[in-house]
Structure 1
C-alpha cells in the first residue's frame, strides 16, 4: 500500500482561472459549511489561486451568468449542494466543479438507496428499515431488534440522529418523525470501532478511528468538543488494507468520483460495515479528510489544491 500521493498534475494557479468557493446556503449544515468554506478559501488564496467565496446557489448562479467564475469548489454541505441539483446545474452550464457528478451526489444523499446499491453489489452494511412518513417506528424496531439508530435518509452532520437503546428511547425519535417531512432510516446499531476513509482522486487515504469522549460520535463530538480522539491510521496491516479496499469499492459502486469520505463501522462479530458516503466532506478544524491527508505528507492547502485540480 503506497504511503505517498502522486505528483501534482498542475503547478500553475493561473490554470484554474477564477474560482468560486461555494459555501453556506440554507441547509441544516449551513454553519459547518461556512466554516469549511472560509478555510478552503484561505488555503486556495495562500497558493495563489484567484478565488472568492459565494454564499448559496442563487448567488452562484447570478455570478456565473455574469461570467465572474470559471470553475466551482463546492463545499456546500447537504441539500442542493450534495443531492445532484447543483451538479446538474453546473453540468448544464458547462462549468467544472469539484466532487461527484449528478448520479453519485443524488444517490449518496439518500442513505437508503445507497444501502440498496451496496447490498446489490454484495457489500456489507447493517440491516435497516425504510420509514416513510407515518411509519410505525415501534414495529420497525421490533423487527430489527434493539439497539438501533433512527436518522433522516437525506441529512448529514448527525442532524436528526437518535440513538435508541430500548423502546423507552424511541419517544424523541417518534416526535421528530411526526414533524419531519422526509423519509427516515432505522438501522441496526453496530457495536465496535467507528472509522472513516477519505477518498482523493481514486486513492483511499489512511483510515481514521474515531474515539469520542462520550458514548457516541454526535454533532457535539464532531464540531464542538476538543476531547474526541482521532487515531490515524485507524487499523493496521491487512485490516487497514481491507478497509481502504472496501471504501474504494463502496465509493465506486455508488457512482462517486473526485473526492469524498466513506464512513465505516467495525462490528465485533460481523466485521466491517458500511454506513454512508459524504460527497462534500467537512473541511473545518475538526474534519477528517485533512487529518488523513496529513498522514501522507499533504497539508491542508495542498489538499485543497489536489481537490481543485481534478476539475481541469
Structure 2
C-alpha cells in the first residue's frame, strides 16, 4: 500500500505540520506500507505529488489543512485520506460556526464577539465581555496569534496582532477553570487528559516545548467524567466526525465548556492524541494503522 504523508503547507502552523509528518513517517509500519514523504509549499503542487498513491495521510494543520480545502481537492480525484471530510473540517475550523452549532445543541461555550478586518470597532461593546479576555484568530490553531488581555491597551494591541493571522478575530470571555482534552478514535473515547501548563496558559510554547506542560490522564470524579464524555460523544455525532478528533474542554465550577474541535490533531512526539492512545494501550504505530483503516 502506497501512503503519502502530506505535510508543510501554507499556514502559520507549517513548522508543526512538518514535525507531525516526520513523526508519522517514523512510526508507520514499514512492513505494511510504502511511504512517500510529501512536503508542499503551494496548493498547486498537491495533485501532481499524490499521483499513484493509494492513500494520503494528512499531517497538515491550519489553512489548507484543516479547513476542508485539501479534503475537497483529494475528494475531486477520489483519493482516500485520513481524518474528517470536507464539510466537517470546514465547519470545525471556523470557531464562530462551531460555537453557533454547539449553542443550538445546548452545549456550553464561552460568550464571544466576532470582529472583521477593516470594520470600525466599538470598544465599549467589546469590553462588555469583561476582563480577562481571550483574543484569537477565528480560523487558526496551535494557539498562534492567541492572547489573554486584561485592559483596553492590551486589547487594542492584541487585536492588531491577531489580525496578522486571519481576517476574522474572535474575542472570548476568559473562562477560569481546569482544562481537559478528549481524544476520540473511530467514535471511541480514549483517556481524557488533564492539561496543566507550568506557566501562563496553554500557548504555542507550552504545547510544543517538552516539559513545559503536564499532560496526564485526568483523575475525575465519575459524575464530571460522565458529563465530559457525554458532551464529547455529542460533538462527534453532531459534526459527523470521522477517524480521529480531539475535543478541548474547560471546566469551571463543575460546568464543562467546549473550546474547540481539532479535526487533524497534532501528531508530534509531544502531542496529546498519541499520549492518550498510549495510556489506552495503543502504541503510535497501531494508532496510525487504526486511522488508516477507518
Q: Which ranges in structure 1 are unaligned for 5 or more consecutive residues?
A: 1-16
**Given the superposition, is the C-alpha separation of residues 84 and 221 from structure 1 closer, same or farther in structure 2, using an over 3 Å criterion?**
same
Query: What is the alpha-carbon distance in structure 1 between the residues aligned to residue 149 and residue 125 of structure 2?
Result: 12
Equivalent residues of 1:18, 1:51 under 8 A apart = yes
Q: Kindly provide the CA deviation profile for residues 235-290 of structure 1, in whole angstroms up to 9, marking residues without a partner as x.
A: 24232222122112123222322211111000126x10000011111011110011
Query: Equivalent residue for 1:59?
Result: 45
1:157 and 2:157 equivalent?
A: no
Q: Kindly provide the CA deviation profile for residues 210-243 of structure 1, in whole angstroms up to 9, marking residues without a partner as x.
A: 1111121111100024131112035242322221
Query: What is the alpha-carbon distance in structure 2 between the residues aligned to residue 42 and residue 180 of structure 1?
Result: 31
Equivalent residues of 1:98, 1:308 under 8 A apart = yes
Structure 1 position 118, deviation (Å)? 0.5
Query: Equivalent residue for 1:296?
Result: 280
Structure 1 position 47, deviation (Å)? 5.0
Poorly superposed stretches of 4+, deviation over 4 Å: 177-181
1:124 and 2:108 equivalent?
A: yes
Query: What is the alpha-carbon distance in structure 2 between the residues aligned to residue 288 and residue 273 of structure 1?
Result: 19
Equivalent residues of 1:262, 1:277 under 8 A apart = yes
Q: Kindly provide the CA deviation profile for residues 140-192 of structure 1, in whole angstroms up to 9, marking residues without a partner as x.
A: 43221111101000010001001012324213213325655510111111101
Query: What is the alpha-carbon distance in structure 1 between the residues aligned to residue 111 and residue 77 of structure 2?
Result: 40
Out of 14, 19, 22, the position equivalent to 1:35 is: 19
Equivalent residues of 1:197, 1:204 under 8 A apart = yes
Query: What is the alpha-carbon distance in structure 2 between the residues aligned to residue 135 and residue 104 of structure 1?
Result: 32
Equivalent residues in 2 for 1:102-117 (5 A)? Answer: 102-117=86-101
Equivalent residues of 2:83, 2:264 under 8 A apart = yes
Equivalent residues in 2 for 1:176-215 (5 A)? Answer: 176-177=161-162, 179=164, 181-215=166-200
1:268 and 2:253 equivalent?
A: yes
Equivalent residues of 1:22, 1:53 under 8 A apart = yes
Equivalent residues of 1:205, 1:244 under 8 A apart = no
Which region of structure 1 is more displaced relative to structure 2, 249-258 or 76-85? 249-258
Out of 54, 78, 87, the position equivalent to 2:62 is: 78
Query: What is the alpha-carbon distance in structure 2 between the residues aligned to residue 83 and residue 262 of structure 1?
Result: 16
Equivalent residues of 1:45, 1:51 under 8 A apart = no
**Given the superposition, is the C-alpha separation of residues 111 and 234 from structure 1 closer, same or farther in structure 2, using an over 3 Å criterion?**
farther
SS in 2 for 1:80: coil
1:281 and 2:285 equivalent?
A: no
Query: What is the alpha-carbon distance in structure 2 between the residues aligned to residue 47 and residue 306 of structure 1?
Result: 16
Structure 1 position 297, deviation (Å)? 0.4
| Pairwise CA RMSD | 1.7
Out of 72, 75, 96, the position equivalent to 2:80 is: 96
**Given the superposition, is the C-alpha separation of residues 211 and 179 from structure 1 closer, same or farther in structure 2, using an over 3 Å criterion?**
closer
Equivalent residues of 1:195, 1:234 under 8 A apart = no
Query: Equivalent residue for 1:247?
Result: 232
Query: Equivalent residue for 1:3?
Result: none
SS in 1 for 2:64: helix
Equivalent residues of 2:137, 2:166 under 8 A apart = no
SS in 2 for 1:79: coil
